[in-house]
Amino acid sequence: MSKRLFGTTKDGKEVYAFTLTNANKMQAEVINYGCILTKLLVPDADGKIDDVVLGFDTLAPYEVNPSFFGAVIAPSANRIKDAKFTIDGVEYKVDVNDGPNNLHSHVDKGAHKQVWDYEEGNNSVKFTYEYKDKELGFPGNIKFTMTYTLTDKNELILHYNAVSDKKALINPTNHSYFNLAGAKSGKNILNHVLKLDASNYTPVVAGAIPTGEIATVKGTVMDFTNGRRVGDDIDDNFEQLVLTGGYDHNFVVDGYDKSLRHIATVTTPEAKRQMDVYSNLPGVQFYAGNFIADQDGKEGAKYTKRSALCLETQFYPDTIHNANFPSCVFGPGNDYDSETIYKF
């Protein structure tokens, strides 16, 4: 691992970049601002190396970053209906930032825009950040730990831990955007082939808030169980796709039992690359980049709608309001701990 100064925040804090390199010339660069994965250099079957995640060359754009490129989202990823929730009879109100709802905790003060403490390892880097009770409206003094590890099996391992002194809503994720043809290829992800180990998903209403139903994908355009092109039906008139401008839904992981299991595979004919995703979480948000704004990215790349896709492992959106969803309430004696692996 190597370390370098990446930049200085607008309020004067130094931010460092850590580059992890394995025996196969795969590299992952992460920064302690937002625990952001800024680069992921991956060889294809012929040894050609490309950066497969979207991002920026400098720090300043990450301080805006409306698409959350590469960032860790915490305390809570995804949406909370009406930006409020109740735990043990106490109501908590959080940032109203997505219509009447809450999205990704807080636009300006969420974990994705904080400078985290760091600890360097040989093939890993561990980041820590602490939120005070009700700092963003969320309960609990919560210490988050997030560790990136790169192995010689071409695995990028993301390990999350959170400890709270009271019952708290804890549901972090990583918001990396992947394009296996290369982040600066100029190609969209409509030809990417996606297989999801998910026979069900959680339908939504306007605002992308789940209805509470767990619905089968069988016989619908939501079915990726056998693997197919992302673009095959993305603009179909199916109500769920119309509501979210394309795929932006939580898929229910088959056989969830809190153990680490394979949940997804992505391949692309434009490059001889395959990404397999493993997680011990119950859901994965498949987002097809429907609302990526036209913008300049790394190394002169131009990003636009559907330039990349996200597979965000997490508890279901708005799970706090749905007793039939797996609970994301953690606290004393019940720490949050999860692992996600992106393997190439």
What does DSSP say about strands 204-205 and 90-93: parallel, antiparallel, or unpaired?
unpaired
Q: Which two tokens stand for residue 243?
A: 């509501």
CA pair distance 76, 321, nearest whole angstrom: 14
pLDDT of residue 271: 86
DSSP H or E stretch at residue 243: helix 239-244
pLDDT digits (tens, 9 = 90+) for 93-118: 999 999 999 999 999 999 999 999 99
Q: Which of 29, 104, 112, 312 is catalytic?
A: 312
Q: Is the pTM of this model over 0.95?
A: yes
Among 115, 37, 33, 32, smallest CA distance to 69 is for 37
Rg for the chain (alpha carbons), in Å? 19
Among 63, 55, 7, 10, smallest CA distance to 29 is for 55
Residue 126 to residues 49, 196, 344: CA-CA distances in angstroms? 26, 29, 22
CA pair distance 232, 242, nearest whole angstrom: 15
Q: 18 with 10: CB under 8 angstroms?
A: no
Spatial CB neighbours of 187, under 8 Å, sequence gap ≥ 6:
179, 181, 270
Contacts of residues 25-32 at CB distance under 8 Å and 24 or more positions apart, as own/partner, are 25/49, 26/150, 26/154, 26/344, 27/150, 28/148, 28/150, 28/156, 30/125, 30/148, 31/6, 31/59, 31/62, 32/115, 32/116, 32/117, 32/118, 32/127
Q: Name residue 246's amino acid.
A: G
Low-confidence ranges of the chain (pLDDT < 50): none
pLDDT of residue 207: 96
pLDDT of residue 81: 98
Say which CATH architecture domain 2-343 belongs to: Distorted Sandwich (2.70)
Q: Which two tokens stand for residue 335?
A: 């720490």
Q: Which of 104, 175, 192, 249 is catalytic?
A: 175
Spatial CB neighbours of 5, under 8 Å, sequence gap ≥ 6:
14, 15, 16, 17
Tokens 């390199």 correspond to 21
CA pair distance 295, 240, nearest whole angstrom: 27
Tokens 């339908």 correspond to 203
Verify whether residue 321 is a known catalytic residue: no
pLDDT of residue 270: 83
